[in-house]
Structure 1
């Protein structure tokens, strides 16, 4: 019959492995989030530039061009954009940074 300490050690090893898997997944998700935010930021800049150019040419400012297969603003309304003037304020980046600092202490 295995000892109580042996059983606890087995569980500890399993928990450490799960922590490492979750850290790796978090790193991957943070990188994917940053890439997606960069794409979004470039699209916002492109939209602003087009609006400025059209405004200078006397065209209506708010020109909407539907993009097939894309989500509408109404569909995305539950996802507020991160302020570009405050990098690193999104919850995922803060969570990632916090988890790294906490784990480096122990």
Structure 2
């Protein structure tokens, strides 16, 4: 028959292992909670911004937006539908020129 002290040591070891496992789980849950708490205000701010944008421009900004559009320049379209770059440093969709695949490229392969 096992001794009482041996049984207590075995039980203590099991409880110690359970405590360590639960601490690891608590750290994992705390990290997930922290991430969710950081995401929540960002999503609330984003929702508010989207609601403002969908509501339309504020009363005083309508004329400014129309004036900006009226003064905008449209890039020249070369034959075939490609637009000429505004400067040599700007190249629209360089990935499409190298490998024209995907929904973002207008040419088909």
Name the TM-score, length of structure 1 as normaliser.
Answer: 0.48
Which structure is higher in helix share? Answer: 1
Larger RCO: Structure 1 or Structure 2 (Cα < 8 Å, ≥ 6 residues apart)?
1
Normalised TM-score (structure 2) = 0.47
Report which of the two structures shows the higher radius of gyration computed on alpha carbons: 2
